[in-house]
C-alpha cells in the first residue's frame, strides 16, 4: 500500500506528515496554536437564553473552525489544493457569521434563502422533467403540499449569494481578493487549479503528471487558512467576551504578521533574482 498504488490513502502518508511539519514548523505551530485558542473561544461561549442571533454566530464559528481543522489535516499531508478549498469554506462561514453580527435582520434572510432552496428542489421534483417515477405518490403529494403551503403563507423565498453575506459582514475586500483567489486556485476546477498536477522542467515545459504530497506552497496555504479563522475570531468577539483568551489571540496575531512578512521577503527576493537572471 504505497503512495504509488494508493495515493493519499497509503499508510506511507504518515512519513510525509512528519516531514511537512518538520520543514514548516513555524507555520504549523501557528495553525495548531490558533486552533486550540479558537476551540477554547467556541467552548467557552455562553449563549443567552432566547438569543438566536448569538446562537447563529456560535454555530457559524463552529462550522468555520471545523473547516479550518479539516484543512489542517489536509495541509499536513501535502494536499494543498484540498486544504485551500476548505479554507474557502471557512471564509464562507465567516462571511455569514459577520453578516449575522452586523445585521439584526440577516437571520430572516437565512430563513428566506432556506425556503428558496427547498422551493427550487421541490419544484423540480414535481415537474414533468424530473424522474418523478422514482418517488412514491405520497412523496409527490407531500412535496406539492409543501409548495402550496409556501405559496399560501407568502413565505419569502430569495437566494442569498455568498457575496451578499460578505458585503453585509463588511468583508467585501476579502471576498474580492482572498476568496476569489481561493476559488480560482483551489475550489473551482479552473486552469489555475490544474497546474498542481503538472510537472514542469526548468524551461516551463510540461513533462509529466504530478500526483502526490507537495511542500512548495504549504506556508502560503497555512497562512490563508489562519487568515480566514482570524476573521472568524474577530466576528465572535462581537457577541461573546474573549478576555480570557485575549493574550493568546494577540500572540497568535503577532506570529501571523511575522510569518506573512517573512513570506513577502521571500517573494521580493525571488522577483529580484528573476529580474537579474
Name the percent of the chain lying above pLDDT 90.
Answer: 56
Q: Domain limits of the chain?
A: 3-276
Cα radius of gyration (the chain): 23
Cα end-to-end distance, the chain, whole Å: 43
The 10s digit of each residue's pLDDT in 1-22 is 678 888 899 988 999 999 999 9
For the full predicted model, state whether its pTM sits above 0.75: yes
Residue 48's pLDDT band (cuts 50, 70, 90): very high
The 10s digit of each residue's pLDDT in 253-266 is 999 999 998 876 65
Task: Write down the pLDDT at residue 155.
Answer: 67
Alpha helices in 153-276 (DSSP H): 162-168, 172-174, 180-182, 191-194, 218-236, 246-276
Residue 270's pLDDT band (cuts 50, 70, 90): very low
Distances in Å between the alpha carbon of 146 and those of 132, 149, 156, 157? 16, 5, 14, 13
Amino acid at each position: 500500500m504505497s503512495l504509488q498504488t494508493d495515493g493519499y490513502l497509503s499508510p506511507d502518508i504518515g512519513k510525509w506528515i512528519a516531514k511537512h511539519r518538520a520543514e514548516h514548523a513555524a507555520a504549523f505551530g501557528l495553525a495548531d496554536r490558533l486552533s486550540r485558542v479558537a476551540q477554547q473561544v467556541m467552548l467557552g461561549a455562553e449563549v443567552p437564553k432566547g438569543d438566536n442571533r448569538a446562537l447563529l454566530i456560535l454555530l457559524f464559528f463552529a462550522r468555520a473552525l471545523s473547516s479550518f481543522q479539516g484543512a489542517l489535516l489536509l495541509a499536513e499531508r501535502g494536499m494543498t489544493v484540498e486544504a485551500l478549498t476548505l479554507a474557502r469554506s471557512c471564509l464562507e462561514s465567516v462571511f455569514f457569521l459577520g453578516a449575522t453580527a452586523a445585521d439584526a435582520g440577516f437571520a430572516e434572510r437565512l430563513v428566506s434563502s432556506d425556503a428558496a432552496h427547498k422551493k427550487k428542489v421541490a419544484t423540480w421534483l414535481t415537474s414533468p422533467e424530473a424522474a418523478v417515477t422514482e418517488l412514491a405518490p405520497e412523496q409527490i403529494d407531500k412535496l406539492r403540499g409543501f409548495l402550496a403551503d409556501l405559496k399560501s403563507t407568502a413565505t419569502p423565498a430569495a437566494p442569498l449569494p455568498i457575496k451578499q453575506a460578505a458585503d453585509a459582514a463588511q468583508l467585501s475586500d476579502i471576498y474580492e481578493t482572498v476568496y476569489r483567489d481561493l476559488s480560482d486556485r483551489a475550489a473551482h476546477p479552473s486552469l489555475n487549479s490544474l497546474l498542481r498536477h503538472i510537472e514542469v522542467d526548468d524551461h516551463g515545459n510540461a513533462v509529466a503528471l504530478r500526483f502526490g504530497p507537495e511542500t512548495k506552497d504549504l506556508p502560503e496555504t497555512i497562512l490563508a487558512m489562519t487568515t480566514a479563522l482570524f476573521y472568524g475570531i474577530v466576528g465572535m468577539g462581537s457577541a461573546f467576551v474573549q478576555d480570557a483568551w485575549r493574550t493568546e489571540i494577540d500572540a497568535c496575531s503577532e506570529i501571523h504578521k511575522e510569518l506573512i512578512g517573512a513570506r513577502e521577503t521571500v517573494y521580493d527576493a525571488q522577483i529580484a533574482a528573476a529580474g537579474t537572471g
